[in-house]
């Protein structure tokens, strides 16, 4: 084996470190003799917590510094939550592996309420996601939505201090951090369609590093990768912006993809939904995007710019 040592660039949050450690353990198990180190880094997305992501530059803020570390040779790979990865990677980078998916759903976390339906008018729900906020507003227009930024532990601490009545987080992050007991309910897909790639980990590296890609190949899950590619294709076809309240989730059944997608106005008053199916993930995603455009997605997209 030509490579004896690899370095993983990772954000410093406990969840990001868990994810990087998880990949390190798998790599060292698959490739005996390989030493894998972590390079923890702070990203702008982690540092600016008083504004929503769409106002400060989007999901790419969580990956840009990690990509710089790879470009400069300080790291060979980076581990991401796929929902944080922009629809288009910069030239010279590749997603070498998308790993098997954890539960993709959103979770309601609350010390008082077991469901959104239980919450009284005026109760405050915290989220940093336009997608989550729009879907909550659509079904529960009497609830108040409030900005909630920070890592998982920071968000839960704000909830426990009484700043919110409930918060909505990804199930996968809570599971990975050993916080399953904090989940009051897992929101059904029809109530809160996940972000593209939610629940899946992706491993990014330089496109030129074929040796690294070969080492990462055993970590890839083919079915998850096809589903995530279809979901990301919806985002890409609609402009790939994190300012877009976009949900997309695909499943593989008998070698065919079945995709659900939605686009919402920020206030949740307009929610457009589409279904698509087929064998090619890029075409399935494009098909769903066309159906959303046919329903008037352009007007929603234009209002968000």
For 230, other C-beta atoms within 10 Å of its C-beta total 31
Cα dist from 50 to 44, 128, 239, whole Å: 12, 10, 25
Residue 89 · residue 206 · CB < 8 Å: no
Mean of pLDDT values over 239-257? 87
Position 248 scores a pLDDT of 97
Average pLDDT, the chain: 91
Calculate mean pLDDT across residues 75-88.
93
Task: Annotate 32-59 with DSSP letters as a single string.
Answer: TT-EEEEEEE--HHHH--SS-HHHHT-G
The pLDDT confidence band at residue 50, using thresholds 50, 70 and 90, is very low
Which of 84, 106, 267, 280 is an active site residue? 84
Query: Which tens digits make up the pLDDT trace of 168-218?
Result: 999 999 999 999 999 999 999 999 999 999 999 999 999 999 999 999 999
Q: What is the pLDDT of residues 106-160, one digit of tens each?
A: 999 999 999 999 999 999 999 989 899 999 999 999 999 999 988 899 999 999 9
- pLDDT at residue 42, as a whole number: 81
pLDDT band at 266, cuts 50/70/90?
confident
Active site residue 84: yes
Other Cβ atoms less than 10 A from the Cβ of 160: the count is: 12
Domains of the chain with CATH codes: 5-100+200-220 (3.40.190.10), 106-186 (3.40.190.10), 231-304 (3.30.160.40)
Q: What is the pLDDT of residue 56?
A: 40
């Amino acid at each position: 084996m030509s490579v004896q040592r690899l370095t993983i660039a990772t954000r410093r949050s406990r969840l990001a470190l868990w994810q990087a450690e998880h990949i390190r353990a798998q790599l060292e198990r698959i490739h005996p003799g390989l030493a894998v180190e972590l390079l923890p880094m702070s990203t702008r997305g982690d540092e600016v917590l008083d504004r929503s992501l769409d106002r400060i530059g989007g999901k790419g803020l969580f990956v840009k510094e990690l990509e710089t570390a790879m470009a400069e040779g300080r790291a060979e790979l980076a581990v991401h939550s796929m929902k944080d990865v922009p629809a288009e990677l910069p030239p010279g980078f590749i997603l070498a592996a998308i790993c098997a998916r954890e539960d993709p759903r959103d979770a309601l976390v609350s010390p008082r309420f077991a469901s959104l339906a239980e919450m009284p008018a005026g109760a405050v729900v915290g989220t940093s996601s336009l997608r989550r906020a729009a879907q909550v507003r659509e079904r529960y227009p009497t609830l108040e939505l409030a900005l909630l930024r920070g890592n998982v532990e920071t968000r839960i601490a704000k909830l426990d201090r009484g700043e919110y009545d409930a918060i909505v987080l990804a199930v996968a992050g809570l599971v990975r951090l050993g916080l399953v007991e904090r989940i009051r309910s897992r929101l059904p897909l029809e109530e809160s369609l996940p972000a593209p790639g939610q629940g899946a980990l992706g491993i990014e590296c330089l496109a030129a590093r074929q040796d690294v890609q070969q080492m990462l190949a055993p970590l890839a899950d083919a079915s998850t990768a096809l589903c995530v590619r279809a979901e990301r294709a919806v985002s890409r076809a609609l402009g790939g912006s994190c300012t877009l309240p976009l949900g997309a989730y695909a499943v593989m059944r008998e070698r065919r993809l079945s995709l659900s997608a939605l686009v919402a106005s920020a206030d949740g008053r307009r929610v457009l939904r589409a279904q698509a199916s087929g064998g090619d993930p890029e075409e399935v995603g494009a098909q769903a995007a066309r159906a959303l455009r046919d329903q008037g997605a352009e007007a929603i997209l234009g209002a968000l710019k």
